[in-house]
Amino acid sequence: MEPDLTFEDALERLERIVDDLESGAPELAAALVRYEQGVRLLAHCHGLLDGAERTVALLTGVDDSGNPQTAPFDVTATVDRESIPTRPNPAPGPAPDDDTIPF
């Protein structure tokens, strides 16, 4: 894997591999090689995304000189599941008559 391969280029290559495999074009041996290449590209993309996540900073304010104050981005704190309102499940209605079911 090329260490300087950008996320966009790796993703484009991965999409071509997926298209090839979905079309059934390569024979089995070639398909396995392409699959392995795809797995390596996917791992490369995940590594780049993980690195990008670690460099994201949150703007927490501005100091007296007008310089931004930042704090590391906490990936786990992006969603507070308890604060999301939940909708109750609707009560089940009466079962349809067999005559109303088309099949």
pTM: 0.56
Residue found by looking up tokens 């604060």 in the block: 83
Tens of pLDDT, residues 44-102: 999 999 888 777 777 778 889 988 888 877 766 655 556 555 666 566 666 656 666 66
Domain that holds residue 23: 7-62
58 within a domain of the structure (yes/no): yes
Residue 37 included in any domain: yes
Residues in the chain: 103
End-to-end Cα separation, the chain, in angstroms: 54
Query: What are 13-45's pLDDT values in tens digits?
Result: 999 999 999 998 889 999 999 999 999 999 999
The total number of structural domains in the chain stands at 1
**Tokens 């507070």 label which residue?**
80
The answer to whether 70 and 57 have CB atoms below 8 angstroms apart is yes
- Let me know if residue 30 belongs to a domain: yes
Which DSSP helix (H) or strand (E) runs through 66?
none
